[in-house]
Structure 1
């Protein structure tokens, strides 16, 4: 997402076309291209969720939409200047 973007409207991320600039999706851990939401099994312990925003010092990470989350994370490890984290929990 471009550095000058300060907010995303409701529905942003529903598809690559709803993302700003040249932003695009990569697969999530479930294999899809969208946010899976909080879905712990009923009665299970509270599940932790991390929403992380990275400030990247390069124009791109050098990946495309076919990259796995692991490859994106690897590239972020070497190109992140700073990050912010919001941590939440959910229990059904």
Structure 2
């Protein structure tokens, strides 16, 4: 899949996550993460996001994330929704 435009999904409410995706003109996958629980769960959040991106077959994407304590199922759903809005 190719990302054609900027899109986002989610909110900044407690226990949610805001995902913004955009095309990466430099190629590859870039991930920027801000989270209130980054010290405890930062690696797991990144892995969940990257696994979903790879599952969807997306390349050349920039992903900007603001997490407010979302569960993995919410993270996966928000990533998928943002990507589908961007293609």
Asked if these proteins are the same fold (TM beyond 0.5), I'd say: no
Which structure shows the bigger proportion of residues in strand conformation? 2
Which structure shows the bigger proportion of residues in helix conformation? 2
Which has the higher relative contact order, 1 or 2, with Cα contacts under 8 A spaced 6 or more apart? Answer: 2
TM-score by length of 2: 0.29
TM-score by length of 1: 0.28
